[in-house]
Structure 1
Amino acid sequence: MQQTTSYPIGTPGQPWGDVERAQWRARQVRQRSHADDVAMRVEASRDRFDIETYGLLDAGGRNYPLLAIRNRDWNPALPIGVVTGGVHGYETSGIEGALEFFEQSAGNYAGRLNLLVVPCVSPWGYEHVQRWNIDAIDPNRSFRAGSPARESAALVALLAPLRGSVLVHVDLHETTDTDESEFRPALAARDGVAFEPGGIPDGFYLVDDSERPQPAFQQAVIAAVERVTHIAPADANSQMIGSPVVAHGVIEYPVETLGLCAGITGARYVTTTEVYPDSPRTTPVECNAAQVASIVAALDYALAHR
Structure 2
Amino acid sequence: MSTAPAFYPIGTSGIPWGEVERAEWLSRQSRQRSYESEVLSVIERLRSRFDVEQYGHLGCGAESYPLMAIRSCDWRDDLPVVIITGGVHGYETSGVHGALQFADRHAEDYAGRVNLLVAPCVSPWAYERIHRWNANAVDPNRSFRQDGAAEESLALMRLVEPVRDRALMHMDLHETTDTDESEFRPALAARDGKPFEPCEIPDGFYLVDDSDNPHTEFQQAVIEAVEKVTHIAPADANGEVLGSPIVARGVIQYPLKQLGLCAGITSAPYRTTTEVYPDSTRATPEQCNAAQVAAVCAGIDYALANPA
Scaled by the length of structure 1, the TM-score of the pair is: 0.99
Mapped to 1, the partners of 2:96 and 2:62 lie a distance apart of: 23
Partner in structure 2 of residue 64 of structure 1? 65
Matched, 1:3 2:4: yes
The answer (yes or no) to whether the contact 2:3–2:198 under 8 Å persists in 1 is no
Partner in structure 2 of residue 32 of structure 1? 33
Mapped to 2, the partners of 1:291 and 1:49 lie a distance apart of: 20
The answer (yes or no) to whether the contact 1:4–1:182 under 8 Å persists in 2 is no
Mapped to 2, the partners of 1:144 and 1:52 lie a distance apart of: 23
The answer (yes or no) to whether the contact 1:52–1:68 under 8 Å persists in 2 is yes
Partner in structure 1 of residue 138 of structure 2? 137
Mapped to 2, the partners of 1:2 and 1:196 lie a distance apart of: 10
Counterpart of 2:136 in 1: which secondary structure? coil
TM-superposed CA distance for 1:171, in Å, is: 0.3
Partner in structure 2 of residue 304 of structure 1? 305
Mapped to 2, the partners of 1:147 and 1:203 lie a distance apart of: 31
Mapped to 2, the partners of 1:105 and 1:265 lie a distance apart of: 23
Q: How does 1:30-109 map to 2 (within 5 A)?
A: 30-109=31-110
Matched, 1:114 2:105: no
Deviation readout 1:101-140 (Å, 9 max, x if unpaired): 0000000000000000000000000000000000000000
Partner in structure 2 of residue 243 of structure 1? 244
Mapped to 2, the partners of 1:167 and 1:3 lie a distance apart of: 39
Letter in 2 for 1:189: A
Counterpart of 1:44 in 2: which secondary structure? helix
Q: How does 1:187-226 map to 2 (within 5 A)?
A: 187-226=188-227
Mapped to 2, the partners of 1:116 and 1:6 lie a distance apart of: 41
Matched, 1:152 2:128: no
TM-superposed CA distance for 1:2, in Å, is: 4.3
Q: Percent identity?
A: 64
- List gaps (5 residues or longer) in structure 1: none
Counterpart of 2:116 in 1: which secondary structure? strand
The answer (yes or no) to whether the contact 2:169–2:271 under 8 Å persists in 1 is yes
Letter in 1 for 2:287: E
TM-superposed CA distance for 1:161, in Å, is: 1.0
Instruction: Indicate the RMSD between aligned Cα atoms, in angstroms.
Output: 0.6
Counterpart of 1:303 in 2: which secondary structure? helix
Aligned residues: 306
The answer (yes or no) to whether the contact 1:60–1:134 under 8 Å persists in 2 is no
Mapped to 2, the partners of 1:167 and 1:8 lie a distance apart of: 45
Matched, 1:277 2:278: yes
Partner in structure 1 of residue 167 of structure 2? 166
Partner in structure 1 of residue 296 of structure 2? 295
Mapped to 1, the partners of 2:93 and 2:105 lie a distance apart of: 18
Counterpart of 2:273 in 1: which secondary structure? strand
Mapped to 2, the partners of 1:2 and 1:31 lie a distance apart of: 25
Mapped to 1, the partners of 2:112 and 2:298 lie a distance apart of: 18
Scaled by the length of structure 2, the TM-score of the pair is: 0.99
Partner in structure 1 of residue 15 of structure 2? 14
Partner in structure 1 of residue 182 of structure 2? 181
